[in-house]
A and B are shown apart, each in its own frame.
Chain A
Amino acid sequence: MDAAIVAGSSCSSSNKVVSMADFGDEPHVLAVDDNLIDRKLVEKLLKNSSCKVTTAENALRAVEYLGLGDDKKNSTTAADIASKVNLIITDYCMPGMTGYELLKKVKESSNFREVPVVIVSSENIPTRINKCLEEGAQMFMLKPLKQSDVAKIRCDVLNCRG
Chain B
Amino acid sequence: MAGVAQLQRQLVDYTASLFHEGFLDDQFNQLQQLQDESNPDFVVEVVSLFFEDSERLLNELAKSLEQQTIDFKRIDAHVHQLKGSSSSIGAQRVQRVCIAFRNFCDEKNVEGCQKCLQQVKHEYSLVKSKLETLFKLEQQILAAGGSIPFPM
Mark A residues whose CB is within 8 Å of B: 34-38, 40-41, 44-45, 48, 93, 95, 122, 143-144, 146-147
Contacts and interface: CB of A to CB of B under 8 A. Distances in A.
A89 B87 CA distance: 19
Contact of A36 (B27, B39, B53): B53
A93 B80 contact: yes
Given A37-B53, A44-B34, A44-B42, A144 B88 contact: yes
A40 B49 contact: yes
Interface of B: 27, 30-31, 33-34, 36, 39, 42, 45-46, 49-50, 53, 77, 80-81, 83-85, 87-89
25 contacts: A34-B81, A35-B84, A35-B85, A36-B49, A36-B53, A36-B85, A37-B49, A37-B50, A37-B85, A38-B84, A40-B45, A40-B46, A41-B34, A44-B34, A44-B42, A45-B34, A48-B36, A95-B77, A122-B84, A143-B88, A144-B27, A144-B30, A146-B30, A147-B33, A147-B34
Nearest to A35: B84
A37 B88 contact: yes
A131 B88 CA distance: 25
Contacts of A93: 80
A38 B33 contact: no
A143 B33 contact: no
Given A37-B46, A40-B49, A144 B87 contact: yes
A44 B46 CA distance: 11
B46 A41 contact: yes
Contacts of B85: 35-38
A34 B33 CA distance: 24
Contact of B87 (A34, A143, A146): A143
B88 A41 contact: yes
Contacts of B77: 95
A146 B31 CA distance: 9
Contacts of A34: 81
Contacts of A45: 34
A34 B31 CA distance: 19
A147 B34 CA distance: 8
